[in-house]
A = this chain, B = another copy of it.
Amino acid sequence: MPHVVIVGGGFGGLAAARALKRLPVRVTLIDKTNHHLFQPLLYQVATAILMPGQIAAPIRQVLRRHRRATVLLGEVTGVDAGRRAVEVRTGEGRAERISYDFLVLATGVQHSYFGQDEYARHAPGLKTMADATMVRNRILSAFEEAEGERDEARRRAGLTFVLVGGGPTGVEMAGAIAELARLTMREDFRRIDPLKTRIVLVEAGPRLLPSFDAGLSEPAARQLRGMGVEVLTGRMVSEIGEDGCRVGEDWVASRNIIWTAGVAPSPAAEWLGLPKGKVRVRYDLSAPGRPEVFVIGDVAYYEQDGRPLPGVAQVAMQMGRHVARAIEARLLNNAPPPPFHYTDKGNMAVVGRNFAVFESRRLKFSGWMAWLVWSMIHILFLALPNMRLTVFWQWVWSYFTEQRGSRLIVDPRNSSNP
């Protein structure tokens, strides 16, 4: 039976694995973590609204009824495309070589500090669950430390949050931190006033949400300003240190800088011996010169109507399902696969608890209605039914009580083991 190896259990990889269930193929899905992460809600874990387990589904639980699918926790270190095999590290000093008939690379993107990798220490980004729990620890600890701090300048720097990058993640984080301070924590402190929290959202370009329609940037910025967020567009962050960052000409004293700016593709292209960067895939999502290798999701570059497709979950999922159709055509009909076509179902970003922006090819709107649509769609796309129910419940609860689901600081140093 032909063997399909999928690298990456994100939206693209998981959609491919699920769609391949109906074909007579064996599937092996390899991921570095044991869970499929619902990345669009990662900012809610980082800001304590949701618990990690509510947006992370164990990949093998999702695929447990797919009897021909094997899930392997491991890190792919390279591809031998000539011999059709991937190299996987499955544990400390343990490697495995897995042969494939078809390979699906759905390895996504990681942060990019545009060459300034030393920024990472002081300005963590938000891609994995480990990142999100670390950022949550930092945000919650900032308030705790300010309550214990007697020095006024240090206290102010401790209550200043800077978000570097005004895309969806920056906008969503800014709104969520503002509400954490102004609503959830309003009554919780005795020495500090959480209302004095300063939140600065910096975007180098001329407007927030550059990937959205220009008409939606201003409503989002207005909404954020109404929540007390300082929105600074057209300003570069040129220096990041332990005690603050340089925004344009000004130094902003802050001990809480979060990187919400650039991403860079994972090394799928290098594995295939192609130029560094995203992989320019062919009409059927296969890699150039390798009809048995498909590259999908954020790491793939695919133009439609003269524009590259955006790095969003919808694109990855549709690509994943397309791969199953392409493999089916090759295997069963021995026919050329159909070309991939992306159907745009819309794109969204949310600002706090009542406001979102929505755009699709035909429709653009913002406000409460968009927020309601955003909430419903995000619940529907969670991978497991129990996640849908508990996230729905948590949102309803939080909406009325203004409390959050998981204001938990878990410091590994707080172990009781001697």
- A130's partner among B54, B113, B134, B412 (CB-CB below 8 A) is B412
Instruction: Write the residues of chain A forming the contact surface with B, with a CB cutoff of 8 angstroms.
Output: 32-35, 51-54, 56, 58, 60-61, 64-65, 69-74, 90-91, 94, 96, 110-111, 113, 117, 120, 124-125, 127-131, 133-134, 140-141, 144-145, 147-150, 187-191, 386, 389-390, 393-394, 397, 401, 403, 405-418
Which B residues lie within 8 Å of A53 (CB)? 51, 405-408
Which B residues lie within 8 Å of A111 (CB)? 416-418
Cα distance A140–B35 in the bound complex, in angstroms: 12
Kindly list the 10 A-B residue pairs having the minimum CB-CB distance in the complex, ordered from nearest. Answer: A53-B406, A90-B148, A127-B416, A51-B53, A73-B144, A70-B190, A60-B188, A58-B407, A110-B416, A64-B187
Cα distance A301–B74 in the bound complex, in angstroms: 50
Known: A129-B408, A131-B417. 12 other contacts (CB 8 A): A33-B414, A34-B144, A34-B409, A52-B406, A61-B407, A64-B188, A73-B409, A94-B149, A128-B415, A131-B415, A133-B410, A389-B397
Which B residues lie within 8 Å of A117 (CB)? 418
Q: Is the interface of A mostly helix, strand, loop or mixed?
A: mixed
Residue from the set A54, A72, A125, A414 with the largest chain B CB neighbour count within 10 Å: A414
- A134's partner among B54, B145, B415 (CB-CB below 8 A) is B415
Contact in complex: A415, B130 (CB < 8 Å): yes
Which B residues lie within 8 Å of A416 (CB)? 110-111, 125, 127-128, 130-131
- A90's partner among B120, B129, B145 (CB-CB below 8 A) is B145
Contact in complex: B188, A52 (CB < 8 Å): no
Which B residues lie within 8 Å of A96 (CB)? 148, 150
Cα distance A403–B190 in the bound complex, in angstroms: 42
Contact in complex: B405, A386 (CB < 8 Å): yes
Q: How far is the CB of A289 from chain B (nearest CB, A)?
A: 30
Cα distance A187–B70 in the bound complex, in angstroms: 11
Which B residues lie within 8 Å of A407 (CB)? 34-35, 53, 58, 61
Contact in complex: A411, B130 (CB < 8 Å): yes
Contact in complex: A33, B110 (CB < 8 Å): no
Which B residues lie within 8 Å of A72 (CB)? 147-148
Cα distance A80–B74 in the bound complex, in angstroms: 53
Cα distance A349–B120 in the bound complex, in angstroms: 46
Contact in complex: A65, B187 (CB < 8 Å): yes
Contact in complex: A410, B129 (CB < 8 Å): yes
Q: How far is the CB of A65 from chain B (nearest CB, A)?
A: 7
Q: How far is the CB of A214 from chain B (nearest CB, A)?
A: 30
Cα distance A125–B415 in the bound complex, in angstroms: 9
A131 and chain B: residue at smallest CB distance? B415
Q: How far is the CB of A74 from chain B (nearest CB, A)?
A: 6
Contact in complex: B414, A128 (CB < 8 Å): yes
Contact in complex: B187, A414 (CB < 8 Å): no
Cα distance A389–B53 in the bound complex, in angstroms: 16
Contact in complex: A189, B409 (CB < 8 Å): no
Which B residues lie within 8 Å of A91 (CB)? 145, 148-149
A132 and chain B: residue at smallest CB distance? B410
A416 and chain B: residue at smallest CB distance? B127
Contact in complex: A414, B32 (CB < 8 Å): yes
Cα distance A34–B96 in the bound complex, in angstroms: 43
A90 and chain B: residue at smallest CB distance? B148
26 of the cross-chain contacts (CB-CB < 8 Å) are A32-B414, A33-B414, A34-B408, A34-B409, A35-B408, A52-B410, A53-B407, A56-B408, A58-B407, A61-B188, A61-B403, A64-B187, A70-B190, A73-B144, A73-B409, A91-B148, A91-B149, A110-B418, A124-B417, A128-B414, A130-B415, A133-B410, A386-B401, A386-B403, A389-B393, A390-B393
Q: How far is the CB of A404 from chain B (nearest CB, A)?
A: 9
Contact in complex: B408, A52 (CB < 8 Å): yes
Q: How far is the CB of A281 from chain B (nearest CB, A)?
A: 23
Which B residues lie within 8 Å of A124 (CB)? 415, 417
Cα distance A300–B331 in the bound complex, in angstroms: 72
